[in-house]
């Protein structure tokens, strides 16, 4: 049976629908073609430079060549700090994070190169967010075994490389550690601090080795060189095929310090026998402030930070140093603050002589004195000494009464003239200011105590509290007596006392104590050229001592040593040694323990008329300065005198025989 034909069927409709579908497909093809063409145009025309660089990166690598840090010498050219060639284990950033499982890489490094897993984890995590350097240092001071493993597995792990790098080496271990300082890797806190000299804004990056303390930090811009680089071709697996070009590193500039190795060694030996194991010896040229020796005891080995800081044993050593109650990392010369004791009497004498309050004939009673509710004892009993005798034999009673006679106004005036309570400007970081005994200092102390008490009780400060401060902060006779001989609210750094005694040695001219002597010419890390440089002493000032004050101070200090006074233990025949002892009380005598015994001071200069050497010696918690610190000066002074005068052993024996 034939199907009935649909009368509404029209073949032309099918043709029209088919044509419409073909049109849509045609448009889609054209659109896809346009998109592809546009994309190709974008990639090949608009972003040619970008993708050309990406293509180069796929076959080129930039490997940094660390610059050697400048060598540090003493004043006579003896090498103190240098850089030795050692190996670092590094990994290529791109290869490590794109072509190898992160955990697998860490496993290989920890298992085969004896790297601490926790440290490595933090190092690699931090590396993900660092800037565009190619290499990440994962182990410094690599052993021959480490290097051999890396070379043997270079095909499996081409991203792990052994690179030569300079490593800081301190030739004399702990000697002059607080002067020289140490180096370490710049940390994120410094990088992110715009005020830091090591901020990223100043061109530093994570991984840079910088000075962390001492001269290393103070003169980092001189000592730090400019890194070079190798541009190499690698294959698809990261294996180096050839070197395209090389930019050699520019080494840091060499630096000559004012230190004298002979004096430094002898000074170090004298601190080794200090009863409490803590103290200071610092010696300098009074005529220009150049420091010959700087010892803060106990000390540390700077090699720990540059050679062993990332080993387990090294980390344990550093923790031990940080927790040591004797604070070996603490630079007592510039950061320790101590009551100056009787060394301060010279300032009181200079002030009184210049103000005309006393003269060379003035005699004042020695011995203890009742001041209000306090009886001030005296360690000396000289009757009615003049000022020269009072200095030579360290009369307490003389200076108690002189302080009362002088009063606070001229006393504070001369502290300001001497620049006490100010930084000396020594070229070492983190110098402390200390405290000078003034009425303002007492007021601040009282106010701070009361405010702390109010905070602890949750109370607010009120106007009547200001009145209470004024009443409690009244400057009393006890304050004046206590301050006049170096106790009370008086805390100075040894470096401040050194500037002070050096100024007294040459009649009042105060030079800035410093360690920089000169630097070689060269190029810094930014590529700027520099000529050879010497220390520019811009902070010289004058203490206007009268001729009488100068002469009396010298007579008294000469009498203290060469005239058989309190510092006679430092006497060196023929050298005309001048000095002043000091015994600084920490707590009252009846409460003193081994840890709170008096500090022992001895400061001075020699020879008397043309000083060449000035010094300050502090023996912590040891007792009297004449017994503990003056004897430590003698071997150093004897050696200096005989060496500079070229006195032979035979001549010394002949002198000794003649004396007998």
- Top pLDDT among 221 and 230 is at 221
588 in a domain, yes or no?
yes
Mean pLDDT of the region 175-199: 92
Residue that finishes a domain, picked among 257, 288, 309? 257
pLDDT surpasses 70 at 204: yes
> Which segment of 200-214, 223-237, 546-560 scores lowest on mean pLDDT?
223-237
**pTM confidence score:** 0.83
CA–CA distance, 12 with 364 (Å, rounded to integer): 137
Q: Which of 257, 283, 316 is the last residue of a domain?
A: 257
Q: What is the pLDDT of residues 346-362, one digit of tens each?
A: 999 999 999 999 999 99
- Does residue 286 lie within any of the structural domains? no
CA distance 593 to 590: 9
* 591: confidence class by pLDDT, cuts 50, 70, 90: very low
427 with 554, same domain: the answer is: yes
Percentage of the chain lying above the pLDDT 70 cut: 85
The 10s digit of each residue's pLDDT in 530-550 is 888 999 988 899 999 999 999
At 361, which CATH number? Answer: 3.40.710.10
pLDDT value, residue 553: 96
Scanning the structure block, which residue is given the tokens 């902070």? Answer: 539
Q: Are 278 and 326 in contact (CB under 8 A)?
A: yes
Residues 426-461 have pLDDT tens digits of 999 999 999 999 999 999 999 999 999 999 999 999
Q: Which residues contact 241 (CB under 8 A, 6 or more apart)?
A: 232, 233, 234, 235
Q: Can you read off the two tokens belonging to residue 3?
A: 């199907």
Is 67:225 a contact under the CB 8 Å cutoff?
yes
- Same structural domain for residues 348 and 238? no
In this structure, what CATH number is given to the domain that contains residue 231?
Answer: 3.90.1310.10
Q: Read off the pLDDT of residues 373-422 as tens digits, 9 standing for 90 and up.
A: 889 988 888 999 999 999 999 999 999 999 999 999 999 999 999 999 99
Give the residue from 537, 526, 536 showing the smallest Cα distance to 253: 526
Residue 350 and residue 214 in one domain: no
Residues 208 and 189: their CA atoms lie apart, in Å, by: 14
Residue 587 pLDDT: 47
Q: What pLDDT is recorded for position 227?
A: 86
Burial class (CB within 10 angstroms; exposed 0-12, middle 13-18, buried 19+) of 255 = buried
Q: Which two three-digit tokens encode residue 115?
A: 């790297």
Question: From CA 634, how far away is CA 659, in angstroms rounded?
Answer: 19
Q: Give domain status of residue 292, yes or no.
A: no
Instruction: Quote the CA–CA distance of 355 and 408 in Å, as a whole number.
Output: 13
How far, in Å, CA of 446 to CA of 217, rounded? 37
Query: For the segment 224-243, what is each residue's pLDDT rounded down to a tens digit?
Result: 998 888 888 877 666 667 88
Three-state DSSP class for residue 624: coil
Please answer whether residues 330 and 336 qualify as being in contact, where contact means their C-beta atoms are separated by less than 8 angstroms.
yes
pLDDT tens figures, 113-143: 888 888 787 777 766 655 444 567 788 778 8
pLDDT at 131: 47
Burial of 249 (0-12, 13-18, 19+ CB in 10 A): middle
**Position of tokens 């005239």?**
563
144 and 244 share one domain: yes
The answer to whether 159 and 238 are in contact (CB under 8 A) is yes
- Say what the pLDDT of residue 94 is: 62
**CA–CA distance, 502 with 286 (Å, rounded to integer):** 5
Let me know whether 364 and 482 are in one domain: yes
Final residue of a domain: which of 257, 280, 309? 257
* Average pLDDT along the chain: 87
User: Which region, left, alpha or beta, applies to residue 176 given φ > 0 means left and ψ of -120 to 50 means alpha?
Assistant: left
- Give 482-496 pLDDT, tens digit per residue: 999 888 889 999 999
> What's the distance, CA 248 to chain centroid?
31
* Residue of higher predicted confidence among 177 and 155: 177
Distance between CA atoms of 129 and 188, rounded to whole angstroms?
A: 12
| Number of Cβ within a 10 Å radius of residue 444 | 15
Can you give the length of the chain in residues?
660
Strand partners, 209: 185
Rounded to the nearest 5°, which phi and psi values hold at 398? -55, -45
375 in the same domain as 246:
no
Least confident range from 183-197, 300-314, 581-595: namely 581-595
| Domains held by the chain: number | 2
| Cα 81 versus chain centre, distance | 16
Within a domain: 280:
no
Look up residue 320 and give its two tokens: 């031990």
Are residue 425 and residue 564 in the same domain, yes or no? Answer: yes
Answer for the pair 497, 337: CB distance below 8 angstroms, yes or no: no
Q: Looking at the domain assignment, is residue 514 inside a domain?
A: yes
* CB-CB contact of 581 with 618 (8 Å): no
User: Is the domain of 120 the same as that of 219?
Assistant: yes
Q: Which domain holds residue 354?
A: 341-519+531-650
Is residue 655 in some structural domain?
A: no
Q: Tell me the Cα Rg of the chain.
A: 36
Strand partners, 581: 602
Residues 6+ apart with CB under 8 A from 320: none
Asked if the structure places residue 28 within a domain, the reply is: no
Q: Is the pLDDT of residue 656 over 70?
A: no
In the predicted structure, residue 566 carries a pLDDT above the cut 50: yes
452 plus 595 within the same structural domain? yes
Residue 593 lies in a domain: yes
Q: How far is CA 224 from CA 71, 202, 524, in A?
A: 10, 13, 7
Give the model's confidence band at 294: pLDDT under 50 very low, under 70 low, under 90 confident, else very high. very high
| Cα distance between residue 323 and residue 332, in whole Å | 17
The arithmetic mean of pLDDT across residues 85-97, rounded, is 74
Q: How many CB atoms lie within 10 A of CB 174?
A: 18
């Amino acid at each position: 049976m034939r199907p009935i034909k649909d009368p509404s069927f029209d073949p032309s409709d099918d043709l029209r629908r088919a044509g419409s579908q073909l049109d849509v497909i045609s448009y889609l093809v054209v659109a896809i073609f346009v998109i592809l063409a546009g994309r190709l145009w974008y990639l090949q025309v608009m972003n040619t430079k970008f993708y050309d660089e990406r293509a180069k990166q796929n076959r080129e690598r930039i490997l940094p060549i660390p610059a050697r840090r400048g060598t540090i010498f003493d004043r006579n050219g003896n090498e103190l700090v240098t850089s030795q060639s050692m190996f670092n284990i590094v990994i290529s950033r791109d290869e490590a994070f794109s072509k190898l499982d992160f955990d697998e890489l860490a496993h290989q490094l920890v298992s085969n190169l004896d790297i601490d897993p926790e440290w490595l984890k933090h190092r690699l995590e931090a590396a993900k967010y660092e800037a565009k350097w190619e290499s990440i240092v994962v182990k410094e001071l690599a052993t021959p075994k480490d290097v051999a493993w890396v070379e043997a597995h270079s095909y499996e792990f081409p991203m792990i490389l052994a690179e030569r790098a300079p490593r800081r080496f301190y030739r004399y271990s702990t000697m002059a550690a607080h002067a020289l300082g140490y180096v370490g890797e710049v940390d994120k806190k410094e990088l992110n601090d715009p005020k830091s000299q090591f901020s990223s804004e100043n061109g530093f990056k994570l991984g840079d080795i910088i000075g962390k303390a001492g001269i290393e930090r103070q003169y980092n811009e001189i000592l730090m060189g400019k890194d070079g680089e190798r541009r190499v071709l690698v294959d698809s697996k990261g294996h180096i095929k050839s070197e395209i070009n090389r930019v050699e590193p520019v080494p840091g500039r060499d630096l000559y310090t004012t230190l004298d190795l002979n004096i430094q060694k002898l000074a170090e030996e004298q601190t080794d026998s200090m009863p409490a194991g803590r103290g200071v010896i610092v010696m300098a040229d009074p005529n220009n402030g150049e420091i010959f020796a700087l010892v803060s005891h106990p000390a540390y080995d700077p090699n720990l930070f540059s050679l062993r800081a990332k080993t387990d044993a090294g980390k344990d050593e550093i923790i031990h140093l940080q927790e040591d109650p004797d604070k070996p990392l603490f630079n007592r010369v510039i950061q320790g603050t101590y009551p100056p004791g009787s060394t301060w009497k010279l300032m009181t004498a200079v002030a009184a002589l210049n103000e005309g309050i006393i003269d060379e004939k003035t005699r004042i009673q020695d011995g203890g004195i009742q001041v209000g509710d306090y009886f001030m004892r005296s360690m000396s009993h000289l009757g009615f000494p003049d000022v020269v005798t009072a200095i030579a034999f360290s009369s307490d009673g003389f200076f108690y009464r002189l302080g009362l006679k002088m009063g606070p106004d001229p006393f504070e005036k001369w502290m300001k003239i001497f620049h006490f309570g100010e930084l000396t400007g020594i070229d070492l970081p983190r110098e402390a200011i200390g405290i000078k005994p003034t009425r303002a200092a007492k007021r601040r102390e009282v106010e701070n105590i009361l405010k702390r008490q109010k905070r602890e009780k949750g109370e607010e400060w009120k106007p009547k509290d200001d009145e209470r401060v004024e009443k409690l902060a009244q400057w009393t006779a006890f304050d004046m007596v206590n301050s006049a001989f170096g106790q009370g609210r008086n805390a100075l750094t040894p470096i401040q006392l050194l500037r002070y005694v050096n100024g007294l040695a040459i009649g009042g001219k105060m030079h800035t104590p410093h360690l920089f002597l000169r630097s070689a010419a060269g190029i810094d890390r930014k590529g700027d050229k520099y000529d050879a440089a010497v220390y520019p002493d811009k902070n010289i000032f004058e203490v206007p001592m009268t001729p009488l004050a100068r002469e009396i101070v010298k007579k008294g200090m000469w009498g203290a040593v060469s005239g058989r006074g309190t510092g006679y233990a430092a006497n060196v025949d023929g050298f005309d040694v001048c000095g002043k002892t000091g015994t600084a009380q920490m707590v009252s005598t009846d409460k003193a323990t081994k840890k709170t015994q008096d500090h022992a001071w001895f400061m001075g200069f020699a020879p008397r008329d043309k000083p060449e050497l000035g010094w300050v010696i502090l023996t912590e918690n040891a007792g009297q300065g004449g017994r503990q610190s003056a004897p430590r000066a003698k071997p150093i002074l004897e050696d200096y005198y005989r060496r500079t005068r070229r006195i032979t052993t035979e001549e010394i024996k002949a002198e000794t025989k003649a004396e007998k």
